[in-house]
Structure 1
Amino acid sequence: MSYASLIPHMTINDNAKAAIDFYKKAFGAEELARHDAEDGKRLMHAHLKVNGHDMFLMDAFPERGSPMTAPSGIMIALRVDDPDKWWDRAAKAGATVVVPLDDQFWGDRWGLLKDPFGHEWSISAPSRK
């Protein structure tokens, strides 16, 4: 088994537990692990699978020197089998449209959403045209 990977590790400003619920509804995320912080309110670490890939997230801990907050300038790119299905599910769950899903000049069906926690998600697949 190889442990070589690149895993997005997102910091959520206020409520990582609510973010997990949103990612389950919007992107079909599967929760693999959850570790509460000592305060019992925030999450120290969570491990999700989205579209078969690992994703970590946590609440912000400014008292521990964690300056990371959303938005971070990072976009999560989801390459999927049916971008319209994924797009509709995310929009129904509460994602905001930044760039509408459409067939793009570079050959993908692509769009950009923002989740309620400030993170941007592109959804795409090769265009069927």
Structure 2
Amino acid sequence: MSDDAKVQAPTCGVTPHLTIPGRGGEAAIAFYTRAFGATELNRHLAEDGERLRHAHLLINGASVMLNDEFPEASGEQNVVPRGVTLHLQVDDPDEWWARALLADAVPVVPMADRFWGDRYGKVRDPFGHTWSIGGPIKG
């Protein structure tokens, strides 16, 4: 396996692959880097040299892939993400929460101590995707 193929491969398990509405892929990479400490592993532009065909990020040790929408391939335009929440289990949920809000995420469910033993909340990113952030309650 070439080094490039190794970088492209997901790390393991289920890997979310997000379609970013319009041509927001470049901005999404910048947001995920600021909000969630993402590391960009690779990026490929489409033949038009403008749209993001594929990007592979590492967030909190897991792969996340993303692309701009391609209505000519999917038949859909102005995709609105719904029905899925991406969960981040982290060591310090308050730190991750604050960083996400500073990067312009919008609170959906307030960060609070929950009955199951985690500190937990949800945010929506500027591209419409919902992220939950959870971790241990510090006492």
TM-score (norm 2): 0.86
Q: Deviations over 1:45-104 (max 9, x none)?
A: 000000011110001111112548332311100000000100000000000000110001
Equivalent position SS for 2:100: helix
Which runs of 4 or more aligned residues in structure 1 lie more than 4 Å from their structure 2 counterparts after TM superposition? none
Of 8, 14, 18 in structure 2, the residue corresponding to residue 6 of structure 1 is 14
> 2 CA distance for matches of 1:87 and 1:101?
8
Q: 3-state DSSP class of the match of 2:101?
A: helix
CA shift at 1:38, angstroms? 1.1
Whether the 8 Å CA contact 1:11–1:70 is kept in 2: the answer is no
* 1:76 has 2:86 as partner: yes
Alpha-carbon distance between aligned partners in 2 of 1:77 and 1:66, rounded to the nearest angstrom: 28
Structure 2: distance between partners of 1:54 and 1:72: 20
Give distance in 2, aligned partners of 1:51 and 1:66: 33
Helix, strand or coil: the match of 1:34? strand
Separation in structure 1 between the aligned mates of residue 114 and residue 75 of structure 2, nearest angstrom: 37
Q: CA RMSD in A?
A: 1.5
The alpha-carbon distance between structure 1 residues 49 and 4, as it changes in their structure 2 partners (threshold 3 A), is closer
Q: Name the aligned partner's letter for residue 87 of structure 2.
A: A
Residue of structure 2 aligned with 1:57, choices 58, 66, 69: 66
- The equivalent of 1:120 in structure 2 is 130
Q: Is the 8 A contact 1:75 1:121 kept in 2?
A: yes
Aligned equivalent of 2:99:
89
Name the amino acid aligned to 2:60.
Answer: N
Contact 1:60 1:66 in 2 (8 A): no
Q: CA, structure 1 residues 67+51, in 2 after alignment: closer, same or farther (shift >3 Å)? A: same
Contact 2:92–2:136 (CA<8 Å) still a contact in 1? Answer: no
- Consecutive unaligned residues of structure 1, counting only runs of 5 or more, are none
Are 1:37 and 2:46 counterparts? yes
Percentage identity across paired residues of the two chains: 53
CA distance in 2, matches of 1:66, 1:48: 26
